[in-house]
Homo-oligomer: A and B are copies of this chain.
Amino acid sequence: MKQFISASGHIRQQLLAGISSAYYQQLDWIQGTGIVKKKLIDPNKVVLISGGGSGHEPAHVGYIGENMLDCAVMGTIFEPPSSKEILQAIEETYNQQGTLLIIKNFEKDLQSFLTAEKQAQEKGLNVAHVIVNDDCSVKLGTFEKRRRGVAGTVFVHKILGGAASAGKNLPVLTALGNDCIPMIKTLGVAFSSATPAGMVPQQYELEEDEMYFGIGIHGEPGYRIEKMKSSERIAIELVNKLKQQYDKLTLQKTAILVNGLGGIPLLELSVFMNDVQQLLEIEDIPVAYSRIGNFLTAYNTDGLSLTLLNIKEEEWLNYLKMPTDAFGWK
């Protein structure tokens, strides 16, 4: 790997300094921490906080803005922040409407965020959480606890962000989160592994003509290595697997997210989006909303993920469509 940045440096500090200098009109970074806040926090709506390890940019700092997050708490590469910093973030952004934590389902993330939530509650603060577990590479039923939170988390930011702006209170937002998260399903595929600064060895290696279905966002291995396939064939695999996740539900109206993992060009993502749209058309699954881009990356992985959201309630779509100045949302 080419050492462009040094793992021995303070990557998190440099990263957040760089981002907050560019987007200083919207963002306040609390120097020396992983906490980035919205410049002006509305006292009249529930505060939304997310976060996790770095290396997934623009997640989550890129989702701070109007009708999305109020705050993101970031750790160093692929490592969540400490509960102490999350508690500090809760306190620094607190208002009388309470705070909702949006957590990706990883053991370490849960530990940090839930510890901070408990400590905040002990201080009398009104804090709740939702856990995003949209990754479908682990079989439903057996190891559900291990289903990870991946790109679908961005849909949760957008829907809950819109609902918070619309004045929904903390219990309603929590229920909305718990209602829509099971309707979000994601599968990823990689053509290369991630090579983040200072993190060797890689968890898997692929031959020049191989690809890997079901990989995670931290370079975790997937469920099947295959010979490299075309965009069209990959779309068939992912759409079929995702459809099966909805059991007896009918996919009446969907939102789709084609997410680049950091090293794939937008041209290829767009071609893949076209393949997905054509497949869904053939299958009579209407697409009401779609987005393409790097939303939740796995450092520089050459690969992508596809997320389906079964839009059960029309208001979810309204929230998705609300404008935002968050720089990561396109």
Interface residues of A (CB under 8 A from B): 2-6, 11, 14-19, 21-22, 54-55, 57-58, 77, 191, 197, 208-209, 211, 228, 230-231, 234, 258, 262-275, 277, 287, 290-294, 297, 299-300, 302, 323, 325, 327-328, 330
Cβ contacts under 8 Å, A302 to chain B: 2, 263, 300
CB distance from A27 to the nearest CB of B (A): 12
Nearest chain-B residue to A299 (Cβ)? B265
| Complex: chain B residue closest to A233, CB-CB | B4
Given A292-B22, A294-B294, residue A11 in contact with residue B228 (CB < 8 A): no
Selected from B11, B15, B263, the residue in CB contact (under 8 A) with A263 is B263
Q: How far is the CB of A254 from chain B (nearest CB, A)?
A: 13
Contact check, B57 vs A265: say whether CB atoms are below 8 A apart: yes
Chain B residues whose C-beta falls within 8 Å of the C-beta of A271 in the assembled complex: 5, 11, 14-15, 18
For the complex formed, measure the closest distance between the CB of A258 and the CB atoms of chain B, giving whole angstroms.
8
Q: Are A14 and B300 in contact (CB under 8 A)?
A: no
> Which residues does chain B contribute within 8 Å of A22, judged by CB atoms?
258, 270, 273, 290-292
Q: Are A294 and B266 in contact (CB under 8 A)?
A: yes
Q: Shortest CB–CB separation between residue A228 and chain B, in angstroms?
A: 5
Cβ-defined partner of A21 (8 Å) among B11, B14, B57, B277: B277
Residue contact A228 to B2, C-beta cutoff 8 Å: yes
Report B-chain residues with C-beta under 8 Å of the C-beta of A18: 258, 269-275, 277, 292
22 A-B pairs, CB-CB below 8 angstroms? Answer: A2-B208, A2-B302, A3-B230, A4-B228, A4-B230, A4-B264, A4-B268, A4-B272, A5-B231, A5-B268, A5-B271, A14-B274, A18-B258, A18-B270, A18-B272, A18-B273, A18-B292, A57-B267, A263-B264, A263-B265, A294-B294, A323-B325
Question: Is B54 in contact with A274, judged by CB distance below 8 angstroms?
Answer: no
Closest to A326 in B: B330
Residue in B15, B265, B275, B292 whose CB lies within 8 Å of A19: B292
| Neighbour of A270 across the interface among B57, B265, B269, B291, CB < 8 A | B57
Cβ A21 vs Cβ B290 within 8 A: yes
Looking at the complex, which one of B11, B21, B58, B299 makes contact with A273 (CB distance below 8 Å)? B21
Q: Are B230 and A6 in contact (CB under 8 A)?
A: yes
Q: Chain B's nearest CB lies how many Å from the CB of A105?
A: 22
Residue of B nearest to A262 (CB): B265
Q: Which residues of B contact A325 (CB under 8 A)?
A: 323
- Once the chains bind, are A264 and B228 in contact (CB under 8 Å)? no
Instruction: Report the Cα distance A299→B2, complex, angstroms.
Output: 19
Return the 3 tightest CB-CB contacts between A and B, nearest first: A18-B274, A18-B273, A18-B270
Instruction: Look across to chain B and name the residue whose beta carbon is closest to the beta carbon of A77.
Output: B267
Chain B residues with Cβ under 8 A from A294's Cβ? 266, 294
Chain B residues with CB under 8 A of A297? 265-266
